[in-house]
């Protein structure tokens, strides 16, 4: 009986345990659903308001903002102040978190919100002094431009205050636990200076060349120089050796693949009878896009195109009369100087026989969760001591950086004048104020003019070979001899052949009186553009769009046959011979569905490793900008009957190519399996447009939606697609643009992956597939509809 009672009691307990467990589980599920609903509601609330009315204190009149079906804002104002205040407000709506990170990165203040992980990066940017250069630049601006900068900042701040009051700041701010401080005019100029940094210069290559001469016999070192110097430099004989590998191990180096394509064709060679222009700048591919597309309209402006988030105006695009695009010139505007430090006073450096006092900048670095770091930047007459950022040393020889972008410059003045230009003369007049970075501008106007100018402040070197190496900071004769006069910069207007094209290639002939650069891009993109332009007497805007997506590989056309002929077939396995057969049956198209591009590009990479890895440490390879071009030259030398010391040292051209091919097959088998014929370029070459916050594991599904898309093209094709060691395409055409001046009110664009920085916006990744497929959208100066937001002057 007792046993039966106990059994009944136990059954009751189990029954109630199940009951209450079920209730508890249900409560947890309800709470979880409620939490998800709350989070979703919060995230949705942080989306920008794109229709209705919003009051903005500081406006003088009503401003209309229409976002068309592609998320492009068309801003129409009755006066200049309101136009640029509205531009600041609208940019902040879509890109405020990006703007915050951009100004922090350029200013060296990321550690305040990230922590210790970004301290070295902050030290580097504090050393460079982009923000200091921006502050110097403010004084060079006209009152008109300052008024526009102030109006733009007021618009950004109006949105910041509105979002704070309504608890609608973008999710990134909540995730990082920060609030944005007010935007200032200097922030816009600092972001502009960062873009000059991203387009880079050649100090890394100078440091690498210095390393070569320090470590290798002169003839062997010179073989890797971008051009062979006429006179043997004497710099190493005049100073103690600087340990380049140790000093620059933590330097943040701009991506070596940053480049671009542009071309313009006169009406005599087009179907419409008017000039056609195309531009696709090659920069980092990420979310949000580096570019933001806008249309600005007021009594003084009617201009459309793209701008960097954080900056007013339109830097690339068109108005009702003219259109323009750019590529990077890549001139020697960065010069390393070796500096002799006074052993008795670390803040004095030798110049012309005297000790000069350096400028010292106190740059304390705040670090989230840690104590502040006292940091000091020393600046000589040439610029900041950049060898100091890597490690403190008491050595008497240092390296400083002279760079045109660290001077006061006036790019916004130029942009505003370009935006209002109605013809080439007015446009070129505006270019005189565009000083850094140096850019190849191509131009087209409705009156039929096509033109080109390599623009910017480019130093004059008395001895051009000096730019190959660090120069002597203590010798007056090693100072720059001023800058190439504006009227003598490379220029072409209405050339006889009817077109102009640039792709970071050499833009001057041997008769040009000034030195521009020792480091030009590999010529394949430029040659292919010219080939396509010469194939047709009459081209159309559709032809231009097709050209921008072209994937013909001229590097493979030049080298593949020679490389295959040099293989030692007796050393190859059956699998490796299958790879050879596949390569022999190739149309030289870097198509994502084919195996040949994967084999070829991996092989080229392995060739470089075979030649350099045993002799040059990995940290120095990072400074070896232009390595691809140099390797091409070594192969050409061998192909044409000469001999390369580097290839000979690695065992000869046959051994290098054979070993590299065997490594290629082994590496790709590990990545794509044993069935060589099933390999594809797209499997190891795909684009994702990664968001910086996606590195936080659970956020990846939100910020990087979907799988990476397979992509055709490569670093050497017109359809540029540079990639990292994981095969993710992270550099390429950040914006594609085509315009027919027969109707300059409309143009064709792709801004990958989209306009918005908010992952729940319909315009977040809506152009990702368009970017992959080459599907353009048309944007008009006159006809547009969509969500309409009316900005109304506030009551105070």
Largest CA distance in the chain: 115
The residue from 10, 25, 45 where one domain ends is: 45
Coarse DSSP helix, strand, coil percentages of the chain, rounded to the nearest 5 percent: 40, 20, 40
Q: Nearest-CA neighbor of 526 among 257, 226, 263, 774?
A: 263
In eight-state DSSP terms, residue 749 is E
In three-state secondary structure terms, 265 is strand
Chain centre distance of CA 554 = 24
- Report helix, strand or coil for 59: coil
Q: What confidence tier does 37 reach under pLDDT thresholds 50, 70, 90?
A: very low
58 burial via Cβ count (<10 Å: 0-12, 13-18, 19+): middle
Question: Does pLDDT of 40 surpass 70?
Answer: no
Task: Report the pLDDT averaged over residues 604-611.
Answer: 98
How far apart are alpha carbons 251 and 245 in whole angstroms?
Answer: 11
Calculate the average pLDDT of the chain.
Answer: 91
DSSP 394-421: --SEEEEEEEGGGS---HHHHHHHHHH-
- Own/partner contacts of 627-631, CB < 8 Å, gap of 24 or more, are 627/256, 628/522, 628/604, 628/715, 629/226, 629/519, 629/520, 629/521, 629/522, 630/224, 630/226, 631/604, 631/607
Beta-bridge mates of residue 63: 791
How confident is the model over 463-468, as a mean pLDDT? 89
Q: Do residues 75 and 85 lie in contact, with contact meaning Cβ atoms separated by under 8 Å?
A: no
pTM equals 0.92
Confirm whether 577 is domain-assigned: yes
Is 125 part of a structural domain of the chain?
no
Question: How far apart are alpha carbons 620 and 433 in whole angstroms?
Answer: 36
496 pLDDT more than 80: yes
Extract the tokens encoding 211.
């390393």
Predicted pLDDT of residue 391? 43
pLDDT confidence bin for 38, thresholds 50/70/90: very low
* Residue, of 234 and 735, whose pLDDT is higher: 735
Contact (CB, 8 A) for 228 and 347: no
Beta carbons within 8 Å of 235's beta carbon, 6+ residues apart: 210, 338, 469, 470, 471, 472
Domain-embedded: residue 10? yes
Domain end marker among 679, 695, 721:
679
Q: Which domain holds residue 12?
A: 1-45
**C-alpha triplet 127, 132, 133: angle, nearest 5°:** 105
In a domain, 370, yes or no: no
**Residue 16 belongs to some domain of the structure:** yes
Does the pLDDT value for residue 153 go beyond 70?
Answer: yes
According to DSSP, residue 766 is labeled T
Pairing of strands 52-56, 787-793: parallel
Please, which residues have CB within 8 angstroms of residue 199's CB and are 6 or more apart in sequence? 254, 258, 328, 437
Determine, yes or no, domain membership for 30.
Answer: yes
Residue after which a domain boundary falls, among 664, 679, 694 = 679
Cα→Cα distances 55→44, 157, 397, 436, Å: 21, 13, 59, 37
Query: How would residue 273 be classed by pLDDT, with cut points 50, 70 and 90?
Result: very high
At 390, the pLDDT band (50, 70, 90 cuts) reads: very low
Model confidence band, residue 519 (pLDDT cutoffs 50, 70, 90) = confident
Could you tell me how far CA 214 lies from the centroid of its own chain? 32
**Residues with active-site annotation:** 260
Residue 785 lies in a domain: no
Which secondary-structure segment (H or E) carries 441? strand 439-445
Q: What is the pLDDT of residue 506?
A: 93
Q: Which residue has the higher pLDDT, 504 or 23?
A: 504
Element of type H or E holding 5: helix 2-45
Q: Is 332 annotated as a binding residue?
A: yes
Tens of pLDDT, residue by residue over 4-20, are 555 554 555 545 555 54
What percent of the chain has pLDDT above 90?
Answer: 84
Does residue 655 belong to any structural domain of this protein? Answer: yes
- pLDDT, residue 782, reads 95
pLDDT of 673 higher than 90: yes
Extract the tokens encoding 207.
Answer: 């440091």
DSSP letters along 461-500, please? -SSGGGGGS-EETT-GGGS---B--GGGS-EEES-TTSEE
Element (H, E) at 263: strand 259-265
Say whether pLDDT at 288 is over 80. Answer: yes
Nearest Cα to 309, choosing from 284, 295, 283, 289? 289
- Is the pLDDT at 28 greater than 70, yes or no? no
Look up residue 41 and give its two tokens: 């509601």
Letter string b/e over residues 591-601, b meaning 16 or more CB atoms within 10 A of that residue's CB:
bbebbbbbbbb
Say how far apart CA 562 and CA 607 lie, in whole Å.
14
DSSP letter at 787 equals E
Name the DSSP letter for residue 229: -
Residue pLDDT, tens place only, 87-118: 999 999 999 999 999 999 999 999 999 999 99
Query: Quick check: 22 pLDDT over 60?
Result: no
**Arithmetic mean of pLDDT, 570-593:** 98
At 636-664, the pLDDT tens digits run 999 999 999 999 999 999 999 999 999 99
Instruction: Give the separation between CA 713 and CA 711, rounded to whole angstroms.
Output: 7
* pLDDT per residue as tens digits for the range 301-315: 999 999 999 999 999
Q: Which of 190, 99, 187 is nearest to 150 (CA)?
A: 187
Residue 231 confidence (pLDDT) above 90: no
Give the total number of structural domains in the chain.
Answer: 2
Average pLDDT of the residues in 598-627: 94
Query: Distance (Å, rounded) from C-alpha 325 to C-alpha 314?
Result: 11
The pLDDT value recorded for residue 236 is 44
The pLDDT of residue 149 is above 70 = yes
């Amino acid at each position: 009986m007792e046993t039966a009672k106990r059994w009944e009691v136990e059954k009751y307990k189990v029954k109630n345990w199940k009951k209450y467990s079920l209730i508890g589980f249900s409560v947890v599920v309800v709470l979880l659903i409620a939490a998800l609903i709350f989070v979703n509601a919060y995230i949705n609330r942080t989306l920008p308001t794109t229709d209705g009315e919003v009051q903005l204190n500081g406006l003088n009149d009503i401003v209309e903002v229409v976002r068309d079906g592609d998320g492009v804002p068309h801003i129409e104002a009755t006066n200049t102040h309101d136009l640029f205040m509205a531009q600041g407000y609208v940019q902040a709506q879509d890109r405020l978190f990006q703007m915050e990170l951009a100004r922090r990165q350029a200013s060296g203040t990321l550690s305040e919100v990230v922590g210790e992980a970004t301290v070295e990066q902050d030290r580097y940017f504090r050393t460079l002094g982009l923000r200091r250069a921006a502050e110097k630049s403010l004084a060079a601006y006209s009152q008109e431009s300052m008024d526009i900068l102030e109006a733009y900042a007021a618009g950004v701040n109006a949105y910041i205050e509105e979002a704070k009051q309504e608890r609608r700041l973008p999710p990134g701010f909540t995730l990082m636990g920060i609030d944005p401080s007010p935007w200032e005019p200097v922030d816009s100029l600092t972001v502009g200076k960062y873009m000059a940094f991203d387009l880079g210069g050649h100090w890394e290559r100078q440091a690498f060349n210095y390393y070569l001469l320090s470590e290798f016999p002169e003839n062997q070192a010179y073989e890797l120089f971008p051009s062979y110097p006429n006179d043997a430099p004497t710099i190493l004989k005049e100073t103690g050796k600087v340990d380049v590998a140790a000093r620059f191990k933590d330097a943040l180096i701009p991506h070596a693949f940053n480049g671009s394509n542009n071309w313009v064709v006169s009406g005599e060679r087009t179907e419409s009878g008017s000039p056609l222009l195309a531009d696709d700048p090659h920069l980092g591919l990420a979310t949000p896009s580096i570019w933001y597309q806008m249309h600005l309209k007021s009594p003084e402006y009617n201009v459309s195109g793209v701008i960097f988030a954080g900056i007013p105006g339109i830097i690339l695009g068109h108005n009702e009369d003219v259109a323009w695009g750019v590529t990077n010139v890549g001139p020697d505007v960065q010069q390393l100087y070796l500096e002799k430090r006074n052993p008795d006073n670390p803040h004095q450096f030798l110049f012309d026989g005297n000790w000069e006092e350096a400028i010292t900048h106190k740059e304390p670095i705040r670090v989230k969760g840690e104590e502040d770091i006292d940091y000091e930047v020393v600046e000589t007459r040439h610029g900041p001591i950049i060898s100091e950022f890597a490690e403190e040393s008491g050595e008497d020889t240092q390296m400083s950086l002279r760079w045109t972008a660290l001077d006061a410059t006036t790019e916004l003045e130029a942009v505003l004048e370009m935006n209002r230009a109605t013809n080439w003369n007015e446009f070129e007049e505006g270019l005189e104020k565009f000083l850094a970075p140096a850019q190849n501008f191509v131009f087209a106007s409705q009156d039929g003019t096509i033109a080109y100018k390599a623009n910017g402040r480019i130093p004059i070197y008395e001895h051009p070979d000096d730019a190959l190496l660090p120069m002597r900071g203590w010798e007056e004769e090693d100072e720059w001899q001023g800058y190439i006069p504006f009227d003598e910069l490379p220029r072409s207007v209405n050339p006889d052949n009817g077109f102009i094209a640039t792709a970071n290639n050499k833009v001057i002939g041997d008769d040009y009186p000034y030195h521009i650069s020792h480091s030009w891009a590999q010529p394949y993109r430029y040659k292919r553009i010219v080939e396509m332009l010469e194939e047709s007497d009459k081209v159309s805007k559709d032809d231009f769009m097709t050209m921008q997506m072209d994937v013909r590989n001229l590097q493979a056309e030049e080298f593949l046959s020679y490389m295959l002929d040099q293989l030692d077939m007796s050393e190859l396995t059956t699998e490796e011979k299958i790879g050879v057969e596949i390569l022999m049956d190739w149309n030289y198209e870097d198509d994502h569905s084919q195996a040949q591009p994967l084999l070829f590009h991996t092989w080229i990479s392995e060739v470089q490793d075979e030649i350099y890895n045993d002799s040059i440490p990995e940290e120095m390879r990072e400074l070896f900008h232009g390595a691809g071009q140099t390797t091409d030259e070594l192969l050409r030398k061998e192909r044409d009957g000469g001999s390369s010391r580097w290839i000979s040292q690695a065992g000869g051209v046959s051994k290098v190519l054979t070993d590299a091919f065997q490594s290629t097959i082994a590496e790709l088998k590990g990545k794509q399996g044993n069935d060589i014929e099933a390999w594809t370029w797209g499997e190891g070459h795909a684009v994702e447009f990664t968001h910086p916050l996606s590195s936080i594991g659970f956020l990846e599904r939100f910020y990087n939606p979907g799988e990476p898309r397979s992509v055709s093209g490569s670093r050497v094709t017109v359809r540029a697609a540079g990639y990292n060691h994981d095969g993710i395409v992270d550099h390429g055409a950040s914006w594609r643009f085509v315009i027919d001046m027969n109707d300059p009110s409309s143009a064709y664009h792709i801004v990958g992956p989209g306009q918005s920085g908010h992952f729940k916006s319909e315009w977040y990744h809506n152009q990702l597939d368009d970017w992959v497929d080459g599907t353009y959208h048309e944007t008009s100066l006159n006809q547009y509809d969509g969500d309409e937001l009316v900005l109304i002057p506030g009551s105070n």
